[in-house]
A and B are shown apart, each in its own frame.
Chain A
Amino acid sequence: MFIRLACCRLLRHRKLIYISIFISFLLSFVYVVVLPHAVKLLHKPPKIQEVYQYVIPEDSPIVPTNSRCTFYDCFNIYRCGHEFNGDFKVYVYPMARHVDQDFIPIGGKMSKEYHTILSAIVESQYYTKNPEEACVFVSSIDTLNQNRFRVKETSQALALLPHWNGGQNHLIFNMVPGTAPDYKTVVELSIGKAMVAGVGFDSWTYRSSFDISIAIYSDLAISLSNDYTFKNRTTFITTVQINLHNDFITSLKSIEKQKSMIRVIEPCSHSGQNKTIVCHKNNTYNYAEIFTDSVFCLILPGPRLMDTVLIDALAAGCIPIVAINHVVLPFFEVIDWKRAVIMWSETELNTLLDVVSGIPLDRRKDMSAQGRWLYKTYLSSLKIITMTTLKILSQRLHPHSSDFYENWNLRPNPVSAKNPLFLPYMSDSSGFTAIILSYDRIDSLFTLINMISKAPSLQKIIVVWNNQLKSPPHFSEWPKIDVSLKVVQTTANKLSNRFFPYREIETEAILSLDDDILMLTLDEIEFGFQVWKEFPDHIVGFPSRTHVWNNKTNAWKYESEWKNELSMVLTGAAFYHKYWNQAYTYIMPNNIKEWVDDHMNCEDIAMNFLVSNTTNKAPIKITPKKKFKCPQCTNTEMLSADQGHMATRTSCVNMFAAIYGRMPLKTVEYRIDPVLYRSLLPKKLKRYNNFGEL
């Protein structure tokens, strides 16, 4: 109203108005664009860009921390979407300066560590710019070290954050809680319903399933982890803290007097504030050295429950003995510290030596290696610590996508078995499915079907018709048998079709057969099934092959000679669990599968590699049978006959071993026969009599 009135009056002075508008624009341009640049140029180098400054009123409200918070009560899950892969979004508040009413900052400058944490979040897949879609909020006020900020004002500043909402869904990072003299075990901020990702909680301040116990970052650890060896550790147990309470020093020294296995280090009297040098009796040590020259590092309560020494000891491979009552270890929700750390009680130090000295050498080596691995994987940088924290949060939000204990705690070990069939049962199966791979040998196929259909445990026959040029015989031509018979017409003549997990396979056990395997007797088949039931995670077959190391060629050689050893059984007639079809088709390295299909060979070698690589177990050979063909009947049709074939199979063995990065096959010297095989008992007492030779 006022402005319009003024404008009307001003109309008479157009020229003046134009000029004034021009001048005002010019002025504002100078003020907004040119001036800051000029200022920037004047202050070289610019340390911090202009950021917002908030003045915290003295009486700004705070909400005390809710000590009974749980994930279900204080956390608003509805903000977090429902991704099923464990994804959720984190918003990071923009940089700002917070000052009190007298324009004194509420804390020190942001530390580079906190900056690294925030950058790690911003660069991660969890970051979102949009606070509306965020599930978790992280403030840009550096709360890592309680000695670096004023507690009350910082609490007030947090409460003023635009999306604070009583602290709900906010995550407060802290690595150094408490101040002298009482050293609280959790950062003393008042944060309402916010979660603390903190270091050094005790079991009273840690709110289960809500806070996250994280690790402190240590610079020293980086250099300690570089040159690691478990050898040359001359000291058995060492203390690693120079600020221990006198009572601890006294009691440890009395132990030291009795048994010299423990070394109690102290600050050197001559070195003053120099922290890099420590003393023991008359010897001076470089502080870093004490971690690398002892087997065990005894960690006692410092001013705070947890400081960097645990991380340093882990990095240096010195097995930590944590004797701090009530301490909550870093990431204990997912890390099983028992594998790397000895947990002790700070009040029972006098019995420590007896127990620790009983730990065998192998176990010590393993703990040391585990500690270093844990350090590298979860604790070695601020980025890694931040990402581990977010991963734990993600598991809480989406527990069904959690990683198992093994993923978190076992060092990758190429030789360890990951047997998917880990139920320790013998199989109760009542029958098996025969899968016959067939191309065009209809006569022998029908003979085989007729023979095998009489096996009492057979439940179904599946014929895999691998010939695309010729249709399988008409329905009426097939033998009339008592069990159901199913013909699968494949779309391409691939060997891997025999190992496909057909929906029609309803039994656990599969008997895989070539269409020309006519020499098996029913007793042999029944016995084979019986053996499979006792060893359901093995391949159980008849003729066996082995692999030997050829020193001349420096490579593996495939052997079909009659040997005292075996490492493979042929799948021309073998029982195995139907899971392996699934693994062959979908889990086995694809280049193996492709090679087999392209070259029409070695599918049985591939299957033996697959099973042995997964279970670390050798296949089982049953009965004396050595060949599928009798020696008299020479049959050139039989694939495994000629020399070139042997060379191919040798190259398969070498190629597969290269792909797996190791030789997974296991060599054994036994076969399995019926209990009474070749015993001098009358036949009627024996269950399996009709056994062919060789």
Chain B
Amino acid sequence: MQAKKRFIILLWLIVLFILVMCLLKTTRKPNTLLHLTYSIDNVENLPSFMDDWQQNLEVGRPPAAKTYEARQQIPYHTSHRKTNKLCRMETCFDSSRCENDFRVFVYPLSELESSGLLTSTRSVLYQKMLDIIVESRYYTDEYTKACVFVIAIDTLDRDPLSPDYLRNIPVKMQRLRHWNGGRNHVIFNLYSGSWPDYNEDDLGFHTGDAILAKASMSVTNMRPGFDISFPLFHKKHPERGGEPGFVRSNTYPITKNYKLAFKGKRYVLGIGSETRNSIFHLHNGKDIIVVTTCKHGKNWKDAQDERCDVDNTLYEKYDYGSLLKNSTFCLVPRGRRLGSYRFLEALQAGCIPVLLSNNWALPFDEVIDWNKAVIWADERLLFQVPEVIHSISETKLFALRQQTQILWEQYFNTIEKIVFTTFEIIKERLPKFQSRDGIIWNTSPGALVSQNSHTEYLNFNLPFNYHLLGKQPSPNFTVVIFSQHNSLNSPLYRLVRNIAASKYLTQIIINSCAENNGKSGYQNIAGVQILISSGNGCRRFEPLPFIKTEAVLSLDDDVVLTTDEIDFAFHVWQSFPDRIVGFPARSHYWDNSKDSWLYTSKWTNEYSIILTGAAFYHQYYNTLYTKWLSPLLIKTVEQSHNCEDILMNFLVSHVTRRPPIKVSQRKHYKEQANNGMPKSPWNDPDHFMQRQTCLNTFVMLFGYMPLLQSSVRFDPILFKDPVSNFRKKYKQIELVSN
């Protein structure tokens, strides 16, 4: 009995022991903090992630297949479905076509016409886009020279329910002679898919290896670095010129009646309705105005809910246009598709877009840093929107709003800019052409006017960003004298002497029109070594390779200028290197009675043109003039043998949105003709009329009047002050001319 009891007690003791153990064990906290697990010197004893691994034995990958045909053998290319989802520039784009230049081929319309398929193959909008390309620098009519192909079949609207929907595209596509599975083609598209699923991929034809420049793309569906997210714009979007943004002043702080505004459709059901059917909750009637209506589409009454009536009354109370103008932020929610017109409308109005469109790839997001101009909200966190926008500082708001305007005017306000930006993005991807960084793309005046590439590296800074970079243009200049005369006359000798006396001079070049033998060489004139460059086809703004300085002083061979005048003008130019700084000025004005622009050389209180017969400008403008301006503009100049200086002023004002600068001069340019000088064309009335015509042609081709008026003149600080001349630095400017 006793033994049995003892046995039982012992048994219980063991059970108890185990119980206590278990209890203790489970209550012990695990080490949550890492640094408790390893002490400092122990960490050093740990192995490296590169240890015990025979790296040296690994051999690198073979080079990727060189030719496009060979690349097609790679297994991931076999799936040629509607869109080749695996396309990348390296695999689906034949960059050997772009070795020399970036040219675009547009399929001629005649091919379609002869095949009897002409009947309404293009909408007005698509026709406009094609016209722009054909008239542009990119265009080539030889398909062998083309890098990119654009088809003449309208693919903009691929919603079968839309009136612009073009049927039988697959049949028409078969007739494209150079289609080649879509290789190097760009397909433009604004709408794809249809009710009810609005499938992004559904274009109704096979795009294969073609690059899609498509609106409302989602980040997931885009082939990275291959497709281009395209903006959605109205049919009435201007081809050229374009409207400026609504923000015409830098008012700080921004004081608007409303903080956030939205006026638009409410979807009761279907795709996109989740967001569109809940945003009205944000409306507070005070600083947040969000009004929606379900009154859209033919059968809206079928699907209406109990809110519709309340909604509609509120909806009618607010005007969309005035909301855009009077609100700091504009809500841009997704519609059926991810993108909407609203986005560009808000951008133009300077109403900072607040995006509620998850996964949307914003237009041209490959190059545009949208963080600087929009606020991303998350559809899932709709109700945080008011808090988010209130948390943004005044300074940031100010920057965001200015950036909306810069982006709008640089890339979106005309069809031309939108199409060109698309091409520039493709161009930028090719190793040879790339080199414009995010600063160039996202600051004024933008990448479209910053032509810089590895192949033609500019050996200087662009004229626009000196202040931003804390740099200064180099303190010397090159003189280019444009000579149309055969003999070297005595005024030229005097001019050369005066120029040579400037300590900032690097070199004098005479761009000779007379001897067109293509030879260049040095010549001694008035004791100065001068480079005579001829055979440039009488092109004044040819970017001569001899020009090594940023500053160019462009002169006519009959100009009279003193050293002081030149030095002073150069000093002014150094502060404003993006503008034309010169002496004789002209003006333009609008004449209502004649319904046209007039050109005047009268002495007026304002000017908008500086004659390039005596002016400083950045040598980059030579490049822009020669390689960037529309061929039609150059043609106008070449046909008339005139107006190249007006065109240069158009160009610089168009790029900088600033007028040129006039500095004080000793005597008036025009007087020279009366002083027994060789007969100048300036007094010729035909010449004058021609310039007037040029002015109006340029306005037509630019799409607007870029010239801006200035009413100021730059003088030396002590100019004509009643102090001793010895105290003045630029004395000659005040001397009376002989």
Interchain CB contact under 8 A, A77 and B378: yes
Chain B CB count within 10 A is highest, among A9, A564, A615, for: A564
Query: Which of these, B9, B58, B439, B663, contacts A180 with CB under 8 Å?
Result: B58
Nearest B residue (CB) for A176: B49
Query: Which of these, B13, B76, B249, B716, contacts A429 with CB under 8 Å?
Result: B249
Q: A47-B45, A49-B38, A400-B388 are in contact. List 20 more A-B contacts (CB 8 A).
A: A9-B8, A28-B24, A108-B47, A112-B43, A115-B46, A118-B34, A122-B33, A241-B60, A248-B62, A301-B60, A303-B59, A303-B60, A338-B437, A348-B431, A358-B457, A405-B372, A414-B470, A425-B248, A562-B718, A675-B711
Shortest A66–chain B CB gap in Å is 12
Q: Given A28-B17, A417-B468, A563-B717, is A673 in contact with B657 using a C-beta cutoff of 8 Å?
A: no
Interchain CB contact under 8 A, A51 and B434: no
For window 19-71 of B, CB contacts with A under 8 Å fall at 20-21, 24-25, 28, 30-38, 42-53, 56, 58-66
For window 289-309 of A, CB contacts with B under 8 Å fall at 300-303
The 6 closest A-B pairs by CB, nearest first: A415-B470, A399-B376, A111-B49, A112-B46, A416-B470, A84-B391
A residues contacting the other copy or chain, number (CB 8 A) = 157
Query: B219 — which chain A residues lie within 8 A by C-beta?
Result: 70, 208-209
Q: B517 at the A/B interface (Cβ < 8 Å)?
A: no
Q: A423 at the A/B interface (Cβ < 8 Å)?
A: yes
Interchain CB contact under 8 A, B719 and A624: yes
Q: Encode A40-69 as 1/0 by CB contact (under 8 A) with B.
A: 000001011101100000000000000010
Interchain CB contact under 8 A, B52 and A47: no
User: Of B228-236, B275-283, B442-450, B522-530, which binds chain A?
Assistant: B442-450
19 contacts between A and B (CB under 8 A): A20-B12, A24-B16, A28-B20, A51-B31, A72-B358, A108-B52, A129-B32, A245-B60, A325-B64, A347-B64, A347-B65, A363-B457, A409-B439, A422-B406, A427-B250, A579-B398, A616-B470, A671-B714, A674-B712
Nearest B residue (CB) for A242: B56
Query: A559 — which chain B residues lie within 8 A by C-beta?
Result: none
Query: Which of these, B249, B358, B728, contacts A427 with CB under 8 Å?
Result: B249
Q: B708 at the A/B interface (Cβ < 8 Å)?
A: yes
Interchain CB contact under 8 A, A669 and B717: yes
Q: B659 at the A/B interface (Cβ < 8 Å)?
A: yes
Shortest A268–chain B CB gap in Å is 13
Interchain CB contact under 8 A, A10 and B719: no
Q: Encode A110-135 as 1/0 by CB contact (under 8 A) with B.
A: 11111110110010000001000000
Q: Given A68-B220, A405-B372, is A248 in contact with B60 using a C-beta cutoff of 8 Å?
A: yes
Shortest B237–chain A CB gap in Å is 22
Residues of B within 8 A of A (CB): 5, 8-9, 12-13, 16-17, 20-21, 24-25, 28, 30-38, 42-53, 56, 58-66, 76, 86, 88, 90, 95, 99, 219-220, 222, 224-225, 247-253, 358-359, 369, 371-372, 375-381, 384, 387-388, 391-392, 395, 398-399, 402, 405-406, 431-432, 434-439, 442-445, 454-455, 457, 459, 467-470, 568, 571-572, 575, 585, 603-607, 656-659, 662-664, 708, 710-723, 727-730
Query: A145–B49 Cα gap in the complex (Å)?
Result: 6
For window 68-94 of A, CB contacts with B under 8 Å fall at 68, 70, 72, 77-78, 82, 84, 92, 94
Query: A363–B59 Cα gap in the complex (Å)?
Result: 34
Query: B28 — which chain A residues lie within 8 A by C-beta?
Result: 32
Interchain CB contact under 8 A, A423 and B247: yes
Q: Encode A390-419 as 1/0 by CB contact (under 8 A) with B.
A: 000000000110101110011001111101
If over half of A's interface residues share one DSSP class (helix, strand or loop), that class is named, otherwise mixed; here it is loop
Interchain CB contact under 8 A, A109 and B46: yes
Interchain CB contact under 8 A, B717 and A339: no
Query: A416 — which chain B residues lie within 8 A by C-beta?
Result: 468-470
Q: A360 at the A/B interface (Cβ < 8 Å)?
A: yes
Query: Which of these, A209, A615, A675, contacts B585 with CB under 8 Å?
Result: A675
Nearest A residue (CB) for B51: A111
Interchain CB contact under 8 A, B718 and A204: no
Query: Which of these, B13, B43, B371, B657, contacts A425 with CB under 8 Å?
Result: B657
Interchain CB contact under 8 A, B225 and A203: yes
Query: A243–B56 Cα gap in the complex (Å)?
Result: 7
Query: A686–B604 Cα gap in the complex (Å)?
Result: 8
For window 532-566 of A, CB contacts with B under 8 Å fall at 534, 536, 544, 562-566
For window 10-47 of A, CB contacts with B under 8 Å fall at 10, 13, 16-17, 20-21, 23-25, 27-28, 31-32, 45, 47
Query: A118 — which chain B residues lie within 8 A by C-beta?
Result: 34
Chain A CB count within 10 A is highest, among B20, B375, B387, B729, for: B20
If over half of B's interface residues share one DSSP class (helix, strand or loop), that class is named, otherwise mixed; here it is loop
Q: Given A77-B380, A142-B49, A675-B662, is A420 in contact with B719 using a C-beta cutoff of 8 Å?
A: no
Query: A676 — which chain B residues lie within 8 A by C-beta?
Result: 603-605
Query: B659 — which chain A residues lie within 8 A by C-beta?
Result: 426, 534
Query: A409–B441 Cα gap in the complex (Å)?
Result: 14
Query: A559–B32 Cα gap in the complex (Å)?
Result: 68
Q: Encode A348-391 as 1/0 by CB contact (under 8 A) with B.
A: 10010001101110010000000000000000000000000000
Query: A17–B16 Cα gap in the complex (Å)?
Result: 11
Shortest B717–chain A CB gap in Å is 5
Shortest B241–chain A CB gap in Å is 17
Q: A6 at the A/B interface (Cβ < 8 Å)?
A: yes
Query: A236–B45 Cα gap in the complex (Å)?
Result: 41
Query: A469–B434 Cα gap in the complex (Å)?
Result: 67
Interchain CB contact under 8 A, A675 and B712: yes
Interchain CB contact under 8 A, B399 and A420: yes
Interchain CB contact under 8 A, A115 and B38: yes
Interchain CB contact under 8 A, A671 and B717: yes
Interchain CB contact under 8 A, B249 and A31: no
Q: A150 at the A/B interface (Cβ < 8 Å)?
A: no
Query: A52–B606 Cα gap in the complex (Å)?
Result: 84
Interchain CB contact under 8 A, A302 and B60: yes
User: Of A254-262, A460-468, A513-521, A677-685, which binds chain B?
Assistant: A677-685
Q: Given A208-B224, A426-B708, is A360 in contact with B721 using a C-beta cutoff of 8 Å?
A: no
Query: A248 — which chain B residues lie within 8 A by C-beta?
Result: 60, 62-63
Shortest B206–chain A CB gap in Å is 21
Interchain CB contact under 8 A, A20 and B16: yes
Interchain CB contact under 8 A, A616 and B224: no
Interchain CB contact under 8 A, B42 and A47: yes
Query: Which of these, A10, A563, A673, contacts B713 with CB under 8 Å?
Result: A673
Shortest A324–chain B CB gap in Å is 9
Query: B65 — which chain A residues lie within 8 A by C-beta?
Result: 347
Query: A685 — which chain B residues lie within 8 A by C-beta?
Result: 603, 605
Query: A410–B572 Cα gap in the complex (Å)?
Result: 29
Q: A229 at the A/B interface (Cβ < 8 Å)?
A: no
Query: A244 — which chain B residues lie within 8 A by C-beta?
Result: 60
Interchain CB contact under 8 A, B717 and A566: yes
Interchain CB contact under 8 A, B49 and A675: no
Query: Which of these, A243, A424, A687, contacts B444 with CB under 8 Å?
Result: A424
For window 163-206 of A, CB contacts with B under 8 Å fall at 175-176, 180, 183, 203-204, 206
Interchain CB contact under 8 A, B63 and A347: yes
Query: B445 — which chain A residues lie within 8 A by C-beta?
Result: 424
Interchain CB contact under 8 A, B711 and A687: yes
Interchain CB contact under 8 A, A409 and B438: yes
Q: A618 at the A/B interface (Cβ < 8 Å)?
A: yes
Query: A68 — which chain B residues lie within 8 A by C-beta?
Result: 220
Query: Which of these, A175, A404, A423, A670, contacts B716 with CB under 8 Å?
Result: A670
Query: A293–B100 Cα gap in the complex (Å)?
Result: 33
Shortest A289–chain B CB gap in Å is 19
Interchain CB contact under 8 A, B603 and A681: yes
Nearest B residue (CB) for A305: B61
Shortest A369–chain B CB gap in Å is 13
Query: Which of these, A20, A339, A344, A420, contacts B9 with CB under 8 Å?
Result: A20
Query: A128–B468 Cα gap in the complex (Å)?
Result: 41
Query: B710 — which chain A residues lie within 8 A by C-beta?
Result: 534, 675
Q: A161 at the A/B interface (Cβ < 8 Å)?
A: no
Query: A122–B61 Cα gap in the complex (Å)?
Result: 38
Q: A247 at the A/B interface (Cβ < 8 Å)?
A: yes
For window 224-273 of A, CB contacts with B under 8 Å fall at 241, 243-245, 247-248, 251, 273
